[in-house]
Amino acid sequence: MFGRKTFPDSASTVTSREFHYEYTDTIGLYFQKTIDLEQFQRGLVIRFIRLIGRVSFRTSDDWSITYDAIIDTGCPISVIPRSRWENIEHNMILPQASLELGGGTVIGQLGEVTLRFHYNNDVSPPITIKAHLLDGDDRPLILGFEDILTDIRLVSDFVVDTAYLEFPHRMVE
């Protein structure tokens, strides 16, 4: 039930005021699909659909194992549980930070980490992102908008079961 089957054949381009971006490197994502069983028992089909990317994090001597991460376009910044960030390289920006998330507040620090996306045998270039580094493990690994979707093109078409990221090659104008 997961999938992303094909990538576009040709690169696309986007121009901003500062850079000309040519998108050529792509990394697949997949849709995680489940049914709300409580509603299903009432005769309703309600799907829980999440867009998932596989990522690894830079460690002091290499890269971590890969983890599934939720790509959440509604989350302003990435959220990393303690068990995922405590053994990876990270720089603290703010020692105390809180974030409103899913109707509640999460507590942690604001930091920077470096990650790569994986799909089958493909690996993206490293990306350094700001992230909310949680004090606990009560939330999943979430990749939010800042530093990921602000710099990388997301293509998602659930109807044809296709999702991927396109990474820009920056060329100064």
| pLDDT greater than 60 at residue 172 | no
| pLDDT greater than 80 at residue 19 | no
Query: How do the domains of the chain map onto residue ranges?
Result: 13-172
Q: What is the pLDDT of residues 108-157, one digit of tens each?
A: 899 999 999 999 988 998 999 999 999 999 899 999 999 999 989 999 99
The domain 13-172 is classified under which CATH number: 1.20.1600.10, 3.40.50.150, 3.40.50.300, 2.40.70.10? 2.40.70.10
Q: pTM for this structure?
A: 0.81
112 Cβ contact list (under 8 Å, min separation 6): 90, 91, 93, 128, 129, 130, 131
